[in-house]
Structures are given as structure tokens and as C-alpha cells.
Amino acid sequence: MKRYIAKRLLQTIPTLFGVSLLSFSLLYLFPGDPAEFVAQIRYGIEPSPQVVEEVRRELGLNEPFLIRYVHWLSHVIRGNFGISWTEGEPVIKLIMQRFPASAELFFATFAISIAFAVFLGILSAIYKDKAIDHFCRIFSLLGISIPSFWLGLMLIWIFSVQLHLLPAFGYGGLRHLILPVLTWSFSFMAIKTRFVRSCLIEELSKEYVVVARAKGLKDRVVVLRHAFRNALIPIITYFSLSIHHLIIGSIMVEVVFSWPGLGSLLVESVFKRDFPVVQALVLISGVMFVFVNIAVDLLYAVIDPRIRYGE
């Protein structure tokens, strides 16, 4: 087990390295002179060459690519993502300010989506090819086809503009959370519902299910205790993989509802040309994905008795 963990961690090093290199090169693609750009923001329209030179040295832009990369990486590992070009504050501070909103949106959506996906998936599997199954299928097809930003705007139009029931924009109490969570859940749960259904259908076709019925167990017990418990292993794995959305949840939903999370920070930063922030967000979301994947692999080993007690 320990060797497995070590091996898995080692495997991720090239990926992490690639992710960091890719996010760093984003800044390198920046056209023109970043130093001049930063100087303009700080000191007005036409900064003098001396000022630009000073900024350049301060940002370390006069060094060659590789040295700048190593320098940047050594800071990043310690959690220092540099200074925002436009806000003049540490990037990490901006990110930490926005993170709670993203996390709140994510956890609410995650909880609701899981509950519905499991419920509808089980129903679909039990009543395979019946009306409810077709309904769930259409529902999930719509979930992956309807753009969330459009759905969000339509919900705003219905619940805020027409019915005056819920606030349209912004961040605050529970009432502000409802529409964004609904919007995001609609697409978030779509594929998960299908996944639960197909896992459960596969388990229901296994021999141990007939054996369980032969013991005289109720259908409910057969499905939940026997089949679903087996299906749970791939389901938990699959659901956990989506935890990487915790960092940058739904960019589109955050933008539509002016939700002050990291997704809208990304879009704002792109418009403000605040590249250190963009770079940090790309890096963090990539690293998050890699770590979630490892965590899920280990989780898989923990929940499956065949691996847990395996040789």
C-alpha cells in the first residue's frame, strides 16, 4: 500500500511539472513589454524609460526564460504567486478572498447533485426502459445540452423579474444561493445520473443479485444492500473526481450571477490583463485536478475490500 502511494505520487511529478510550465508560459506569450504595461498602470500613461526599467528589474523580467521559471516556481511552491499587476496586492490574497464563495457554491451544488443523481439513477435502473427511465434520460440530455449561462438568465427572468421571489445577482444569504445552485446542478448532475444508472444496471445483472433474491430478500434490500453497495465503488470514485471543481467551479454560473468566486476572478483578470492572477488560477486548477485524482485512487483502494485486503 505504501509503495503504491509512493509510486502514484512519483507518477504525478511530470504532470505537475508540465502544468506549471504551461501556466508560466502564458505570461511569456504576453505580447509587447509587460514591464511597460505594469509601469503604465502604476505611474500613468507615458512612463519614463527609467521607470519601466525599474519595474522590469523589480519583476525580474530582464532574466532569461528558464531562470525566471525556476525563480517563479520556487516562490510558487511556498505559496507566493507574485503581486497582482493591477491591484498591487499579493495574488494569493486575492485568491483567498474569492475562494470561500466558490467553495460555498460548489459544496451546495455537489450535495444537491449527488442526492438527485443517486435517486434518479436508482429509479432509472430499477424501471429500466420504462417511462421514468426515459424521463431521466431526456432530463440528463438536456442537462448537458442547455448552456448554464442561458438557463441561469432564464431562471433570473422567471424567479426574479416575473415572480420577484429571489434575488437575481450577488452574494449573500441562502436566498442568493438558490438560483446559482439550481443552474449549476442541472448540468452537474446530468452525466452523474446516467453513470449511477449504468453502474447499477450492470450490478443488477450479476449472479449474486439472483442469489440475494433466492434468499427471500425484499427487492428494496436486494437493490440497495446488494447491488447498490457494489455500484457504490465506481460511483464514489466518479463523483469524487468532480471535486476539483471546488477551486474554479462554474465560471459561467459565477459570471451570470455576479458570484464573487474564483471563476469570475479569472474572467475579470483576463479583461484587466492581470496575468499573474490568470497564471496562478490556471496553475492551481491544474494542480487541484492532479491531487484530486491521486486522492480518488487512494480512496478507491480504501473502499474496495478486494483491494483493501488484497495482496
Binding site for other proteins (CB under 8 A): 14-15, 18-19, 22-23, 26, 29-32, 141-142, 144-147, 149-150, 153-154, 156-157, 161, 206-208, 210-218, 221, 225-226, 229-230, 233, 244-245, 248, 251-252, 255-256, 266-267, 270-271, 273, 275, 278-279, 281-282, 285-287, 289-290, 304-306, 309-310
Q: How far is the CB of 221 from other proteins (least distance, A)?
A: 8
Is the distance from CB of 236 to CB of 162 less than 8 angstroms?
no
Specify whether the backbone of 129 is left (phi greater than 0), alpha (psi in -120 to 50) or beta.
Answer: left
- Whether 84 contacts 90, CB under 8 Å: yes
Q: How far is the CB of 111 from other proteins (least distance, A)?
A: 21
Greatest extent of the chain over all pairs of C-alpha atoms, in Å: 87
**Cell triple for 31:** 505580447
Give the integer Cα–Cα distance in Å for 186 and 112: 10
CB of 29 vs other proteins, minimal distance in Å: 5
Of 92 and 232, the one with the shorter C-beta distance to other proteins is 232
For 178, phi then psi, to 5°, come to: -60, -55
| Three-state DSSP state, 61 | coil
Nearest to 266 by CA among 257, 195, 254, 256: 254
- Least distance to other proteins from the beta carbon of 195, Å? 14
Question: For other proteins, which is the closer residue by CB, 181 or 231?
Answer: 231
Q: Does residue 285 contact residue 277 with C-beta atoms inside 8 Å?
A: no
**CA dist., res. 4 & res. 198, Å (int):** 29
Identify which of residues 59 and 253 has a Cβ nearer to other proteins in the complex: 253
The least CB distance from residue 128 to other proteins, in Å, is 10
| Closest to other proteins by CB, 37 or 116 | 37
Compare residues 65 and 157 and give the one whose CB is closer to other proteins: 157
Min dist CB 106 to other proteins, Å, is: 13
CB count in 10 Å sphere of residue 72? 21
* Cell reading at 113: 447533485
Minimum CB separation from other proteins for residue 148, in Å? Answer: 9
Nearer to other proteins (CB atom), residue 48 or residue 210: 210
Q: Pick between residue 47 and residue 286 the one whose CB is nearest to other proteins.
A: 286
Cβ proximity to other proteins, 297 vs 304, nearer residue: 304
Q: Is 173 left (phi over 0), alpha (psi -120 to 50) or beta?
A: beta
- Rg for the chain (alpha carbons), in Å? 24
CB 288 within 8 A of CB 247: yes
Instruction: Report in angstroms how near the CB of residue 174 gets to other proteins at its nearest.
Output: 23
